[in-house]
Each structure stands twice: as C-alpha cells, then as structure tokens.
Homo-oligomer: A and B are copies of this chain.
C-alpha cells in the first residue's frame, strides 16, 4: 500500500505536518508512514468486524499504536474509514488511467478495466472489502467525496461499454444493467475467493470478461468470442486454450 503520498493533506491542522519550519522531511515521512501503518491495520480490523463492530481499541491493539496515538495521527474513526476508501479508490483509478492510455479498441478497453479491477481487488482484499462492504458507513460531509469518486469510476466503465455497444452493434440490453451486472460479478468475489483454490486475478479477469462480452454482445451482435491473456507479454500465446 502506498498511501502516504499526499496523505498529509488529510490530517488535522494540529498534526505534525503543520510544522513547516526547521527539520521537516524525515519527520514528515516517518509521520506519514505511521499513518499508513495505522490505516493498514484499521482496514484489516474494519474488514473483519465491520466498521460499526470495530472499536478504536481494536485498532489500537492490532496496530500497536496506543489509543491516544490514533487520535494524534487521525482525528476520528470516520476519518480512518474515509482515508482507507479514498486512497484505495484513487489507487485503482490512477492505475486504470495509466493502463488505458494507449488502448483505443473498446473491447480491449473493457478487458483492461476488468483486469485492473480484479488485480487490485485480489492484491488488496482487505481494502476492497472495506470499500465495497462499508459503502454507507460514512456520514455526510465525507460520504459525498467517496461517492463522487465512485461515480466517476462507474461512469468510466459505462462509457467504455457505450462505445463497445456502438462499435459492435449491440442492441436490446440497457447499458446500466449490463455494467452493473459486470460490477456484481467482480465485487462479489470478496465473499468467496480462495487463493488456494481459485484462479489468479489475470485468469479470473479473462473468464469474467469472457462471460460478459459473449453474454452481452453475442446475443445481439457480432461474435466476439473468447481470447486469452491480455497484458502484452511474450507468454500470451500459449495461454490460449482455444
């Protein structure tokens, strides 16, 4: 988790980063790393007990940071949840925009979207569970911020699908339903995924992209079919099961 980039912006005014003169960089970094440490443990506790069921004392125990220390680095329990959600979402969006940069074809864009989502989902299961499971736990001032990012993320997926719809001549299925069904497949994973039994993120992304593309497009349009691999690497070809 590389949360601490920019995290100082979110701390209370009285927190250490307010000190702008004198020694700065090493302390600032140590301080930011400690907030990261707290957020990591908080995310784990929230994911295990739920936001309401988790206490600040639980987070204190889990992280080793004393109760008063938690409030020194983050002003409230709400803000902890807020930071976890905001940083996770930003991280996903940032990676996604990078990966999407050179991709023009809608079908490929969708693959990249699913790939990115699942890769983040499975490599940060704790944060993602908090993100998807604790949607309503924030109260209004903070909630709006997270909802705004989420809306942007959904819009991006929907735009990709609309483009795909045009280019493939798909008809008869509402984009809203199609995209939300796709999100359902992906976001439900946290309830069942078992790394010892289930396919890797890459493979899972291929499978779900396949189900979605064929399911949504083949009913009323071209045959898109299955293809394997995505990332442009060398072994791409031999993963083709046919």
Report A's interface with B, CB cutoff 8 A.
49-53, 133, 135-137, 172-174, 176-178, 180-181, 183-189, 191-192, 197-199, 204, 207-208, 210-216, 218-220, 225-226, 241
Q: Is the CB of B177 within 8 A of A184?
A: no
Chain B neighbourhood of A136, CB < 8 A: 50
**Distance of A226 Cα from B170 Cα, bound (Å):** 13
Chain B neighbourhood of A183, CB < 8 A: 188
Q: Is the interface of A mostly helix, strand, loop or mixed?
A: helix
A208 to chain B: closest residue by CB = B181
Chain B neighbourhood of A220, CB < 8 A: 226
CB-based closest 9 A-B pairs? A215-B215, A184-B188, A52-B53, A211-B215, A52-B52, A184-B185, A219-B226, A181-B185, A214-B215
Chain B neighbourhood of A199, CB < 8 A: 174, 177
Chain B neighbourhood of A173, CB < 8 A: 207, 211
**Distance of A185 Cα from B50 Cα, bound (Å):** 23
